[in-house]
Chain A
Amino acid sequence: AQSVTQLGSHVSVSEGALVLLRCNYSSSVPPYLFWYVQYPNQGLQLLLKYTSAATLVKGINGFEAEFKKSETSFHLTKPSAHMSDAAEYFCAVTQSGGSYIPTFGRGTSLIVHP
């Protein structure tokens, strides 16, 4: 079985500050991990994904995430927040050799203050 936990339903940062959104997963086999972003009234779009290559994955809009097997984590970071980063962020997991149906976390709403 696979599961995803996103700590913090809301994260608030000031413009220019570091963004850190947490994701922990549970998987009995090597996982595939994804971060998606959802802007208001839009569908989700892929930020980045981990597929067992490099553990540090770089995505769009300056975001990156590091896969840490020992911590079963895949936290999303961005060095400097921009107002346009305000959105809902979802972490998702699928399993090698398993179903292609991903399990999504509950999402974290990123609030950026001027």
Chain B
Amino acid sequence: GAGVSQSPSNKVTEKGKDVELRCDPISGHTALYWYRQSLGQGLEFLIYFQGNSAPDKSGLPSDRFSAERTGGSVSTLTIQRTQQEDSAVYLCASSFGTSGLHDEQFFGPGTRLTVL
């Protein structure tokens, strides 16, 4: 079956522009995560969606970052007024999200964002 897909794979934008990054999770996965990966910095948690519950936004670095998940499936991460420090690889992951079970996450290939 299909894995997690992300689009675009690469995005180059100018400072101050808005960008939208898309994630299609594995069908049936109720949990969805966004992470930011900067060189040598590991994975930085951004936001977590679980079913119909309110998302955990505790990792979003500023109010320029937002995300939504429509219909419990596709998610979009939006960065407004991009800054050079936003340049990174943005990874999306999904999991079954079974209550009480710490499931493995399935990751997409990422979107490499470059802000000029």
Residues of B in contact (CB 8 Å), total 26
Contacts from A to B (Cβ < 8 Å): 9, 32, 34, 36, 41-46, 49, 51, 90, 94, 96, 99-107
Measured between alpha carbons, how far is A106 from B44 in the docked complex, in Å?
Answer: 9
Chain A's interface: helix, strand, loop or mixed, by majority? Answer: loop
Cross-chain contact A45 with B107 (CB below 8 angstroms) = yes
Shortest beta-carbon distance, A57 to chain B, in Å?
A: 12
A-B contact pairs, 26 of them (CB 8 A): A9-B40, A36-B107, A42-B109, A42-B110, A43-B4, A43-B93, A43-B108, A43-B110, A44-B91, A44-B107, A46-B104, A46-B105, A94-B102, A96-B102, A100-B95, A100-B102, A101-B33, A101-B45, A101-B48, A101-B56, A102-B45, A103-B45, A104-B43, A106-B40, A106-B41, A107-B42
Measured between alpha carbons, how far is A105 from B43 in the docked complex, in Å?
Answer: 8
